[in-house]
Amino acid sequence: MRGKMDRDTPIIELKGVGEKTRQLFARLNIFTVGELLDHYPRDYEIFRDPVPILRAAVGEVCAVRGTVTGILNERRVRKLHILNVNISDGSETMQLTFYNMPFLKKTLKQGVIYIFRGNVQTRGKWKIMEQPRVYSKEDYTRQENTLIPRYSLTRGLTNQAVQKAVKQALSCCQPPEEYYGKDFLESNGLMGIGDAAEAIHFPKDMDQLVRARQRLVFDEFFSFLFLMRQNKEFSDGLENPYPMFETADTVRFLEQLSFPLTRAQKRVWGEIRDDLGSPHCMNRLIQGDVGSGKTVLAVLALLMTAANGYQGALMAPTEVLAAQHFETILEYTKKMGLIFRPVLLIGSMTAKEKREAYEKIASGEANLIIGTHALIQAKVRYKALALVVTDEQHRFGVRQREQLAQKGDKPHILVMSATPIPRTLAIILYGDLHISVVDELPANRLPIKNCVVNTSYRGKAYEFIGKEVKAGRQAYVICPQVEEGEAEDLENVVDYAEKLREHLSPDIQVAYLHGKMRPADKNRIMEEFAAHTIDVLVSTTVIEVGINVPNATVMMVENAERFGLAQLHQLRGRVGRGEHQSFCIFVSTKENKETMERLQILNKSNDGFFIASEDLKMRGPGDLFGIRQSGVFSFRIGDIYNDAALLQKAAAAMDELMLRDRTLSLPEHGLIRKHLEEAAANSVDFRSI
Ligand code: ADP
Ligand code: MG
């Protein structure tokens, strides 16, 4: 069987994958067998030993062993058949509810021991499970302690179907060839790539899973670092092709601005100004927590660029964010009579609009270009591009810089980020960039009030949102998934918006937003929210980065336990951006002590880096899979917080390799080089959300 297919084989050639399934996979961007194998599980289900009912933790998926002691009742509500039974494990009892499974009344034999596995909840003083899976003792024992992969899905595609397809793909493909040498594997303690590629889907045990994941994360970091090194060589010691002088424009802008800069903003502005006038090309990272006011620093740098007769570009990771920046700067320009002649350039514009933008850019009529990565595509010709600012963008990689360089001289680079990372990691991740830190929030901010609650608080939360909206404010509600069916038991944006409309008074405008919507629709919704024609926005984490609607004062996050704290902190950063008191409501469906304690960290601190590192301390290796700390860095499997140690290891290994064979031209490095070059070619530098 092995070797019958390769990574480029279309998945329709897999048994059991017909046209319908092919289309479902296409929605997940999976077209080939290789892409299927790279669709790593989201997390893993572990069939742990059954626990006594007494110890079954509420809010957790548990298995309990018990016998049926009686049918409590059986009824029909419209089309729904409901069966309630009692079970007991000798000391304690539990109530089970089954929907549309009338046959169980006969098949569940009284007196026989079964294993029931499901989410433990309470009804009054009873522990209950709804729709648990039922296993015979033998069946359960067979699965006990194995890890079952759980994949990201789409409506209509079952986890079972993905599992089967992956299993087949693994058995029909040659395992990938090892590219590292034996010594390299050994000294870095890495599992072979063939084993890792298989074990990430079907691990024998936790230990094997951890090792497989380590190998894949190491590889991901390693190829990223390779790109970084190339980049460093490219940009080291570049002379400043666009020397600039300070003009009255920036001074006047600051005078007219409705607020004074914070001390931190002033300091960083000083550093940028010096760079732009220095003999070397600027390569600077501005790190500043959410709401610290980085945008105005970008505006200042771009203004200085325009005043010196050059063009500047501001690049954002999403269209929504690009459009927001465009509006903000357009307003400044009009109000203060700035010298900007801005154009917007995003993928969802019509061909005609794009053509007009290209012309303005090429002729120099536009001196400020704002957009997504559309800015650096081949069709765009600049007249005199001297500065590129990337907002919330971490992977402004080699290829982008090369693409830009082809458009003329090497521009100054300014990268802005709200992802809190310690300096040691920043140096590895950003290599060649100088780092400025905006370590102070504007003084007019009231601290955000937080609360962590369970789902029974929802009614009150809706009431509260209603009150804030009446007072003229706006609210966000975040759900972890787009539509029903991607994962069980999680709130989804589409249904939630519907539910919320029913709960809130009819004059409150509720809309939803998620990453799978057409870009133009996303932009429209976001504009309407900014213009306050929408009061409550139900959204996935697409709004996580950058969005600035200072009138929004409530951030409610459903299934908060599913998110990394650093990510929750980013979400929280969407409120508290103006003068009004803001509120954050984290709703957790899990009520166990650890989850609550973890979420409570958000209550204690507003310091993004402190939060991320505390989160890490509280969690063991078993937690590594379900939660990603931050959606901002676009690593596919690696996570800079959770895998900081591996990142450091990969960096050390890269240093050593470069020292021995900088061009990777030794014969023993042939395979590594081939692998790294392929990885570089395939790396997607921009998150497409
Ligand atoms: P971020 O650093 O998260 O990108 P923004 O640049 O979007 O933050 O700024 C958040 C809000 O704070 C904006 O509405 C901005 O106008 C405002 N702001 C920025 N600097 C100051 C300041 N020094 N004083 C008061 N408000 C400020
Ligand atoms: Mg920002």
- Tens of pLDDT, residue by residue over 586-607, are 998 877 777 788 888 888 887 7
* pLDDT for position 519: 81
| 99 CB near ligand 1 (under 6 Å) | no
What is the residue with the minimal CA distance to atom 22 of ligand 1? 442
Among all chains, which residue has been given the structure tokens 């303690």?
189
Ligand 1 pocket residue status of 120, Cβ below 6 Å: no
Please name the residue that has the structure tokens 């944006």: 493
3-state DSSP call for residue 24?
Answer: helix
- At residue 626, the pLDDT reads 46
Strands 311-315 and 385-391, how do they pair? parallel
Ligand 1 centroid–CA 518 distance in Å is 29
Atom of ligand 1 nearest to the CA of 392: 4
Show the domains of the chain with their CATH numbers.
Answer: 1-44+147-174 (1.10.150), 48-145 (2.40.50.140), 248-438 (3.40.50.300), 449-605 (3.40.50.300)
User: Closest residue (by CA) to atom 20 of ligand 1?
Assistant: 293
Separation of CA 531 and ligand 1 centre (Å): 18
**What pLDDT score was predicted for residue 621?**
42
Q: Ligand 2 centroid vs 97 CA: distance in angstroms?
A: 48
Q: Is a pLDDT exceeding 60 seen at residue 398?
A: no
From the CA of 299, the nearest ligand is 1
Tokens 């990691």 found at: 425
Q: How confident is the model at residue 275 (pLDDT cuts 50, 70, 90)?
A: very high
How does the average pLDDT of the chain come out, rounded?
86
Rounded distance between C-alpha atoms, residue 561 and residue 191, angstroms: 31
How does residue 624 score in pLDDT terms, banded at 50, 70 and 90?
very low
3 state SS of 637: coil
Measured by CA distance, the residue closest to atom 16 of ligand 1 is: 293
- Of the ligands numbered here, which is closest to the C-alpha atom of 297? 1
Picking from 486, 548, 543, the residue whose alpha carbon sits closest to that of residue 513 is 543
Q: Which residue has the higher pLDDT, 678 or 572?
A: 572
Atom of ligand 1 nearest to the CA of 292: 2
Residue 361 CA to ligand 2 center (angstroms) comes to 25
CA distances from 5 to 14, 20, 137, 526, 630 (A): 9, 21, 39, 45, 35
Instruction: Among 253, 259, 320, 551, name the best residue to mutate to test ligand 1's pocket (greatest count of ligand atoms within 8 A of Cβ).
Output: 259
Tokens of 314: 């501001």
Termini Cα distance of the chain: 37
- Above 70 in pLDDT, residue 400? no
For 101, the token pair is 């499974």
Does any ligand 1 atom lie closer than 6 A to the CB of residue 574? no
Ligand 1 neighbour 577 (Cβ under 6 A): yes
Q: Is 418 in the pocket of ligand 1 (CB under 6 A)?
A: yes
Give the SS3 label for residue 363: helix
Statement: residue 264 has pLDDT above 70 = yes
Query: pTM for the full model?
Result: 0.71
Q: Ligand 1 pocket test: pick from 295, 390, 569 the residue with the most ligand atoms within 8 Å of its Cβ.
A: 295
Which numbered atom of ligand 1 lies nearest the CA of 293? 6
Smallest-distance ligand from the CA of 300: 1
> CB of 265 closer than 6 A to ligand 1?
yes
* Rounded (5°) CA angle 296-301-303: 90
Q: What's the pLDDT at 46?
A: 84
CA of 675 to the centre of ligand 1 (A): 43
389 neighbors 345 (Cβ within 8 angstroms)? no
* Lowest model confidence (mean pLDDT) among 146-160, 179-193, 208-222, 455-469: 146-160
Which ligand has an atom closest to residue 569 CA? 1
Tell me which residue has its CA closest to atom 18 in ligand 1.
293
Q: Rounded to an integer, what distance in angstroms lies between the CA atom of residue 662 and that of residue 644? A: 25
Tell whether the model's pLDDT for residue 395 goes beyond 60. no
Q: Per-residue pLDDT averaged across 130-158, rounded?
A: 89
Classify residue 448 by its DSSP letter. Answer: P
Among 63-67, 187-191, 376-380, 674-678, whose mean pLDDT is lowest?
376-380
Assess whether the C-beta atom of 259 lies below 6 angstroms from ligand 1.
yes
What's the mean pLDDT in 137-155? 87
Tokens matching residue 47: 């069939």
For the Cβ of 264 lying below 6 angstroms from any atom of ligand 1, the answer is no
pLDDT band per the 50, 70, 90 thresholds, residue 687: very low
pLDDT band at residue 689, thresholds of 50, 70 and 90? Answer: very low
480 has pLDDT over 90: no
Centroid of ligand 2 to alpha carbon of 299 (angstroms): 12
Which residue CA neighbors atom 26 of ligand 1 most closely? 442
The residue whose CA is least distant from atom 25 of ligand 1 is 442
What average pLDDT does range 97-124 have in this prediction?
A: 89
Q: How far is the CA of 253 from the centre of ligand 1 (A)?
A: 15
Residue whose CA lies nearest to ligand 1 atom number 23: 261
Structure tokens at 185: 């594997």
684 — pLDDT class (breaks 50, 70, 90): very low
Atom of ligand 1 nearest to the CA of 297: 6
State which of 438, 575, 577, 582 you would mutate to test the pocket of ligand 1, scoring each by most atoms of that ligand within 8 A of its C-beta. Answer: 577
Residue 483: its pLDDT value, please?
A: 66
Ligand nearest to the CA of 292: 1
Which residues are within 5 Å of ligand 2 (an ion), measured at CB? 546
The four Cα atoms 298, 304, 308, 309 give a dihedral, to 10 degrees, of: 40
Q: Name the strand (E) or helix (H) holding 113.
A: strand 113-123
Ligand 1 pocket, 291 CB below 6 A? yes
The predicted structure's pLDDT at residue 383:
92
Nearest C-alpha neighbor of 478 from the set 376, 552, 581, 379: 552
- Out of 176-180, 257-261, 433-437, 501-505, pick the least confident: 433-437
Give the pLDDT confidence of 292-344 residue by residue, as tens digits.
Answer: 899 999 999 999 999 999 999 999 888 888 988 999 999 999 999 999 999 99
Check pocket membership of 550 for ligand 1, CB cut-off 6 A: yes
Report, as an integer, the average pLDDT of 439-445: 85
Helix, strand, coil percentages for the chain (3-state, nearest 5) = 40, 20, 40
For residue 587, what are the β-bridge partners?
453
Residue tagged 């007769």 (tokens): 309
